[in-house]
Structure 1
Amino acid sequence: MAIPERLTDQELDELDELAQAATPGPWYVQGLDDANAMNLVAVSTVPDLGPTKRWPGFDHREIVAATLVQQPRYVDVADERWDENAFFIAAARNTVPLLVAEVRRLRRQLESLSAKADQELQ
């Protein structure tokens, strides 16, 4: 696997802006399975409460994205990685702001250490 190029400061800013513009986190994965939403796998702003939270009891405004809607068949990715995709989407929402901040912190630390090393060489 090739090592990706370094993210530019502009790319970090864009990621940060995307995260700030999105629905606030944390996000969670919810499974809904009833006569109205057969095997629905969704990304939600609230944790999954298990089988007690079903239509019409769940609030559709809590759903950010769906990775599987089988009935009616609206969302159904060919590789059948519905759960994996939902967990990735939720993890990305929850982690991208932390990763951007960590990259920036490490870059500042590296710049500081480089400047210190330059001073010691002079």
Structure 2
Amino acid sequence: MQLDLDAIETRANAATPGPWESAPELGSHSIHTAIKGGTCLALWTAELATEADAAFIAHAREDVPALVAEVRRLRTQVEQLDRMLSETIDDRDRIHDMADKLAYAVAPEEVIGEHSSMNCPWDNALDLITPMAEVDKLRAQVNAVTGLCDEQEMAAHAFEFPTPEWITAVRQAMGTAAVETHVVADDSDDCTGFEGNPVAPNLCGGCGEPSDDHEPAPAVRSNAV
């Protein structure tokens, strides 16, 4: 039941101002205003009323306005909490969507799955992310292997020997691993095409790869007259 606080407050304000007091009289109880200057205003007398009944009625003069004020305060607080809850739910939904986008940017749904009681795509995506320190370590190892392959291949070609098979196998394995792990590397210094190598003519001078794996270097347009 929704209390009509305005109506309750109106009735309370229209009643005789308090405080009220209760007093026992010969076989009955009465309610009267507080004694001021030796006089008081008798409000109500009941023969069958108990002392507790009289006390309840007397205190109602102050209890009812206090209860109305408390209910108003609590209603205001509930409205504020409802607004905060609504904002929290909106924030939760936005964060949920952002987390989904981040997770599925790491790996597709086929890999990390959907949300369920037995699966959390966010945790699965975190498990797939390699820490930056480990990435730097792996890159250093790749660069070391690449440098060794380049040195050995250039040495072989300097004596007109073919590229050792182990070098080709290592390069193929490294290329396959890079594709399978979806490595996104900084390509700012990638070779843009085959460049002549004075030491090993069949190797690119830019990256050391065999010329068969390269497209011709793009022509440089000149505006010189």
TM-score in terms of structure 2 length: 0.36
> Aligned-pair RMSD on alpha carbons?
1.9
What is residue 7 of structure 2 aligned with on the other side?
14
2:31 aligned counterpart, secondary structure? strand
Instruction: Name which of 16, 19, 24 aligns with 1:26.
Output: 19
Q: Separation in 2 of the partners of 1:100 and 1:92?
A: 12
Q: Deviation at 1:40?
A: 4.3
How far apart in 2 are the matches of 1:22 and 1:46?
Answer: 14
Corresponding position of 1:63 = 42
Q: 1:115 is paired with a residue of what secondary structure?
A: helix
Instruction: Indicate the residue corresponding to 2:70 in structure 1.
Output: 102
Deviations 1:22-76 (A, max 9, x none): 00111111234xxxxx3442111115xxxxxxxxxx74x5111112xxxxxxxx2
Give 1:106 deviation, angstroms.
0.2
The structure carrying a bigger helix percent of its residues is 2
Match of 1:41 among 26, 29, 36: 29
CA distance in 2, matches of 1:115, 1:86: 43
- SS of 1:84's equivalent in the other structure is helix
Q: Distance in 1 between matches of 2:58 and 2:42?
A: 11
Rounded to whole Å, the distance in 2 between the matches of 1:94 and 1:104 is: 16
Following TM superposition, by how much is the alpha carbon of 1:82 offset from its aligned partner in structure 2, in angstroms? 2.5
Runs of 4+ aligned structure 1 residues displaced above 6 Å come to none
3-state secondary structure, aligned to 1:18 = helix
Alpha-carbon distance in 1 for matches of 2:76, 2:68: 12
Greater strand share, structure number:
1
SS at match of 2:44: strand
% identical aligned pairs = 35
Structure 2 CA distance for aligned equivalents of residues 20 and 92 of structure 1: 12
TM-score, with normalisation over the residues of structure 1? Answer: 0.63
CA distance in 1, matches of 2:81, 2:17: 35
> Computing the radius of gyration over CA atoms, which structure comes out larger, 1 or 2?
2
Q: Output aligned runs, 1:82-121, within 5 Å.
A: 82-121=50-89
Distance of 2:24 and 2:41 partners within structure 1 = 13
Q: Which structure 1 residue ranges, 5 or more long, are not aligned?
A: 33-37, 48-57, 68-75
Shift of the alpha carbon at 1:86? 0.8
